[in-house]
Amino acid sequence: MKQELPKFQDGAKRVKKARVAKNSSSDIPAYYQVAFYMITLLVVAKLSVTVYLQEQTIKELNQQVSESRELIEKQHASMLKIQSQISGLEQSGAKSFARIPQIEADLKLIKDKNFRNLSSNNELIIKALHSIKDFKDSEAPQEGK
């Protein structure tokens, strides 16, 4: 039994060594390992740069979005101001339209007064012309005497 025990231990050591050899990187030449690590580093670096650039793009887009929101808010405020001005104009227009009949009545009154004044002025002119004619008629017989 003593002889079997060392063989068993020796076999366990061999299995252990085989597993280590199988899992170790000593099977792959060193330049392949270096190339693999360099390629891995390059891929990681490229991914890092890509992520950084995407983050910068996202920041720029967020900035543009906030600027656009500010612009939209300003335009909305100016639109509300214009709407209030329009409603004010509509109200004043409605008041103006309500005053049109009064204005027309006032114009008719002025026209009537002007017509009356014109007629009275015409009457005065006619009277003056008659007076002048009467004056001339009254002087005309005296010249003949």
Q: What pLDDT shows up at residue 22?
A: 53
Q: What contacts 61, CB < 8 A, 6 or more positions away?
A: none
pLDDT given at position 65 = 94
| H or E element at residue 94 | helix 30-144
Determine the average pLDDT of the residues in 86-107.
Answer: 83
Kindly report the backbone phi and psi dihedral angles of residue 18, in degrees, each rounded to the nearest multiple of 5, phi listed first.
Answer: -65, -40
144 has pLDDT over 60: no
Three-state secondary-structure class, residue 29: coil
Summarised one tens digit per residue, pLDDT across range 33-82 is 899 999 999 999 999 999 999 999 999 999 999 999 999 999 999 999 99
Residue with tokens 């808010």: 73
Domain extents in the chain? 21-138
